[in-house]
Chains A and B, each alone.
Chain A
């Protein structure tokens, strides 16, 4: 049966059955059902995110509102130093006769480790991405790209263990750090974890720059490095900024590597050679056995909410940078 015949047959049947042909309505119904199903699945994802936000928020809220929690810890006490023997200290001592829940050392610890990770990962990954996107031949690209992306598949507990066993010894020998496990070791370990993200997104951004930009710059007599630095990298910079923001979000939320490699002592200082305790490590180490509904429990959830806000802000900032630069490029281009 060819198409014309089929059409005729269908028309005849439709005519027989009248206006509301089930022959035509049935596939539409199936399509509609499939559409609804996919919509429902998408909504489940949205609902899950919303429920998590609601749950974390609800468990964190008593830190601000509950009088019972305030008998042990207030928001001010979580942020301001406590005076001990004339010295003001920022202390995280949740299991104590006089528990103190100062989150400043944890927040600074998270930030410190994350910045160290970015310090190592960003130049490496962005330069790597520039090489792969602009200079590497086909063979080199097809070797390097999967290799770096494979790094993303290495479980963070493995990276953390390597940092703990091998890297910690090396850095102490090389830099004579005060503590064997410290912010530097954890930061370098984290850099391994975020390299693939920063590399992939940057590389995509660089390759997305239209060939016509390069051609135009070359036609005006630019050298290869001038094309790269003057045209391609600026054009790809929103993507690179997004890559860095994503790397930041991944680094500040990473747990296993910092639990293993940072030593987890809640010290408040700028030294990279000293042990440090991050928000994620604190939650991982303490939520397991915290008394349900206790001030300590709510403070841990407040830390979780804080972390959530940080990653959210990082992603939001990334998006804004991207949007802003696109607009500017649109105007100038």
Chain B
């Protein structure tokens, strides 16, 4: 297998015309007295990160926190390249990615769990279906089960919606639901969870997946780990206990132990005030 080093494509690449091991930009290490923090990564976490930043900036005048999305992979690439202070990721970093950070930034990756997200399986509000088992969900997304009739619904083809392949949600779903098999070719890949929600909202026969925070005008199915298990609806309790089969932690990653503004910001996020914000956005706080 070739090197799995990810680098966000940038104009810089075009100008520099280099595809060799580009050195990390100098001065990338966050300085302790920094008055600006860059936070990049997961699209799932953009709104959450923005709320955190707004609330924290109100408390800390003089500090500017910039939150950007792009996908977990984009954020991790930014962390490797030193173009972000904090990387938001909706999936754990791979060992290879951690090695890359160590090689290019000269510091170990520090992982901080900041919230819990239950990956919901969306259907249109008109869909009578209440629950699905993971193996069936896998078959649906692999294109083996093609009609709602086969899972106890109406006799109509299932329309598959998913995320583009640089999204952490895509990676999580592919790994945990499809067991790394391929999505059906008919899966429509949309940019952002909001687009998936919008699509399922407008499509009576659609099915989609994404964060629990986006449940507007659509319904989340209860999920069974396998055909014999009980169906569990995504909720605070089931996500924190880990009984909901598709719950996951959301992470902050930094290169090296966070210092200065980054340290206090992360401390605040994992503290009671930061955890309260999570509720408002629609994800779940960490278990106490």
B229 to chain A, nearest CB (A): 27
Interface 9-residue window, one of A17-25, A127-135, A232-240, A264-272: A264-272
Q: Please classify the interface of chain B as helix (H, G, I), strand (E, B), loop, or mixed, using the class held by over half of its residues.
A: loop
- Which residues does chain B contribute within 8 Å of A58, judged by CB atoms? 17
Contact with A along B1-25 (1 / 0, CB 8 A): 0111111110001100101000000
Q: Does B110 contact A (CB under 8 A)?
A: no
Q: Which of B2, B14, B180, B186 contacts A295 (CB 8 A)?
A: B2
With beta carbons under 8 angstroms apart, the residue of B13, B70, B183 that contacts A288 is: B70
Stretch at the interface among B48-56, B158-166, B213-221, B263-271: B158-166
Which residues from A are CB-within-8-Å of B17?
51, 55, 58
- B186 surroundings in chain A (CB, below 8 A): 265, 267, 274-275
A266 to B162, CA, bound (A): 13
CB distance from B193 to the nearest CB of A (A): 15
Interface string of A59-96 (1 = CB under 8 A from B): 10000000010001000000000000000010111111
Closest chain B residue to A276, Cβ basis: B188
State in angstroms the CA–CA spacing of A294 and B96 once bound together: 15
A178 to B104, CA, bound (A): 48
CB pair B206–A180 under 8 Å, yes or no, is yes
Interface positions of B from 105 to 131, Cβ below 8 Å from A: none
Residues A292 and B71 in contact, CB atoms below 8 Å apart: no
Interface size class of A (residues with CB under 8 A): 35 or more
Assuming the A-B contacts A289-B74, A291-B2, are A164 and B8 also in contact, with contact meaning beta carbons closer than 8 angstroms in the complex? no
Given contacts A263-B188, A288-B70, is CB(A181)–CB(B19) below 8 Å?
A: no
Q: Judge whether A164 and B191 touch: CB under 8 Å.
A: no
Q: Which of B82-90, B197-205, B243-251, B274-282 contacts A (4 or more CB under 8 A)?
A: B197-205
Q: State which of B8, B180, B187, B198 has its C-beta within 8 Å of the C-beta of A265.
A: B187
Q: Across the interface, name the chain A residue whose C-beta is closest to B14.
A: A55
**Nearest-Cβ distance from residue B2 to partner chain A, whole angstroms:** 5
Counted as pairs of residues, one from A and one from B, with CB atoms less than 8 Å apart, the total is: 108
Chain B residue contacts of A72, Cβ below 8 A:
2
Give Cα distance in the complex from A290 to B160, angstroms.
24
Q: Does A97 contact B (CB under 8 A)?
A: yes
Given A165-B198, A168-B202, A259-B191, the answer on whether A265 and B185 have CB atoms closer than 8 Å is yes
B3 touching A291 by the CB < 8 A rule? Answer: yes
* Residues of A close to B147: CB separation below 8 A: none
Closest partner residue, chain A, to B7 (CB atom): A292
Contact of B159 among A92, A179, A259 (CB under 8 A): A179
Please determine whether A68 and B185 come into contact, CB atoms closer than 8 angstroms.
no
Which single residue of chain A is at the shortest CB-CB distance from B22? A292
Q: Report whether B198 and A291 are in contact in the complex, using a CB–CB cutoff of 8 Å.
A: no
A265–B188 contact, CB under 8 A? yes
Please pick, from A164, A263, A288, A291, the residue contacting B74 in the complex, using a CB distance under 8 A: A288
**B157 in the interface (beta carbon within 8 A):** yes
Please report which residues of chain A, range 263-321, place their CB below 8 angstroms from some CB of chain B when the two chains form the complex. Answer: 263-267, 274-275, 277, 285-295
Contact between chains at B166 and A293 (CB < 8 Å): no
Distance between Cα atoms of A293 and B20 in the complex (Å): 8
B73 close to A (CB within 8 Å): yes
A288 and B189 contact, Cβ closer than 8 Å, known pairs A180-B199, A180-B202, A181-B199? no
Q: Contact between A289 and B182 (Cβ–Cβ < 8 Å)?
A: no
> Which B residues lie within 8 Å of A59 (CB)?
19
Q: For window 139-198 of chain B, which residues contact chain A by CB distance below 8 Å?
A: 157, 159-160, 164-166, 170, 174, 180-183, 185-191, 195, 198
Q: Considering the complex, give the chain B residue whose CB is closest to the CB of A290.
A: B9
Which partner residue on chain B sits nearest A71 by CB separation?
B2
* A288 near B19: Cβ-Cβ < 8 Å: no
Judge whether B188 and A95 touch: CB under 8 Å. Answer: no
B2-A68 in contact (CB<8A): yes
Q: Given A72-B2, A265-B186, A267-B185, list of 10 further CB < 8 A pairs? A: A94-B165, A95-B170, A263-B189, A265-B187, A265-B189, A275-B188, A289-B77, A289-B165, A291-B5, A293-B3
A–B Cβ pairs within 8 angstroms, 13 of them? A91-B182, A172-B203, A178-B157, A180-B202, A260-B191, A264-B188, A267-B185, A289-B71, A290-B9, A291-B3, A291-B7, A292-B19, A293-B2
Interface residues of B (CB under 8 A from A): 2-9, 13-14, 17, 19, 70-71, 73-74, 77, 157, 159-160, 164-166, 170, 174, 180-183, 185-191, 195, 198-199, 202-203, 206
Chain A residues at the B interface, C-beta cutoff of 8 Å:
51-52, 55, 58-59, 68, 72, 89, 91-97, 105, 164-165, 168-169, 172, 178-181, 259-260, 263-267, 274-275, 277, 285-295
3 tightest Cβ-Cβ pairs between the two chains A and B? A289-B166, A263-B188, A289-B73
